Structure 1
């Protein structure tokens, strides 16, 4: 009886948390689940197609993918500083950490392009064996996710910069609960993209 009651209480608490969430946050988490499922299916497809391709056993893992992983881990740290800066009403800090995060995001994207060139030098082409094509599709899909969150970060950075120039707008910006929601959406999705790449990185690492 006690266990059953505890389960009911946990369910009620979970529903209350969901109900208290902003609709955009709920949409974000649903989107993240959907994206995770898509990545899972592409990884399964890559796994199924890979055994027939012996070339993967004879090449080195692209160094650019290793570099990009460290860059993305660093960006996860910088983006985690954005929301605390907003809560302290320090827009200069918000802009600084958003700027650092964007720079690291661009560096990650550039290193991904370099990684694709390394794959091409190993004669692993998008138009070649299907397992090679899946490598480009999976990593490219992740880059698209990063591009989307980076565009959102640019919008937030420009909004913050424009607001910081006017005292009245600054006050409205700092006291508007939705601004915090937007920054949380950015932070959560950025961390999600980071986590997805870490999983992909280790999977690819042990595939070479």
Structure 2
């Protein structure tokens, strides 16, 4: 009975936390779960039905994928600095960390394109006898997620820049709780995209 009561209390506490969340945060976490399931399904589907042609993967691992991983890990550090800067009402710091995060996201995307070119140089193509379509599809799906969060980061950066030019807007920006929610959405989703790539990176590393 005591254990059952503890379980009920834990469930009630969990529901209270969910009810206290902003609706946009709830939608974010639901979408993150959905995206994670899509990535998991894609990886498992390939692993289970791995074609015989995939034996050609005993080749060099694309160096650009290694570089992009370090870039993305660095972006996790910069994006984690955004919310603390906002809480200190330091818009210059917010802009700086937003800009650096956006720049690192762009560098990651470029390194992914370079990684695809490396795959092509190894004669791993999207179609044909030596098709590596699954590599392009899985990594491409991740790049689409990165592109989406980068667009959101750019919008927030422009909004922050315009606000910093007006003292009245600055005051409203700093005291508006929804601004913090938007930055929280950016931070959490960016970390999610980072985590997904780390998993994919080690998966790719294993199959190579």
Superposition misfits of 4+ residues, deviation over 4 angstroms: none
Question: 1:49: Cα distance to partner?
Answer: 3.8
| Mapping of residues 1-208 of structure 1, within 5 Å | 1-50=1-50, 52=52, 53-57=54-58, 59-128=59-128, 132-208=132-208
Shift of 1:45: 2.1
Q: Deviations over 1:136-171 (max 9, x none)?
A: 000000000000000000000000000000000000
Residues 18-46 of structure 1: CA deviation (Å, up to 9, x unaligned): 00000000000000000000001110122
3-state SS in 2 of match to 1:50: coil
Q: Could you tell me how far 1:107 is from its partner in structure 2?
A: 0.3
In structure 2, the CA distance between the partners of 1:207 and 1:131, relative to structure 1 (3 Å rule), is farther
Q: Secondary structure at the match of 2:123?
A: coil
Quick check: 2:71–2:107 contact (8 Å CA) kept in 1? yes
Q: Post-superposition shift, 1:172?
A: 0.3
**What TM-score do the two structures reach when normalised by structure 1?**
0.97
Whole-angstrom distance in 2 between the partners of 1:129 and 1:138: 19
Structure 1 residues without counterparts, runs of 5 or longer:
none
Following the alignment from structure 1 to structure 2, what is the Cα–Cα distance between the partners of residues 144 and 14? 32
* Alpha carbons 2:82, 2:94 under 8 Å: kept: yes
Change (3 A) 1:131 1:47: farther
Which secondary structure does the structure 1 equivalent of 2:207 belong to?
Answer: coil
Whole-angstrom CA distance in 1 between matches of 2:51 and 2:148: 33
Aligned length: 207
Using structure 2 for the length normalisation, give the TM-score: 0.97
**Aligned-partner SS, 2:132:** helix
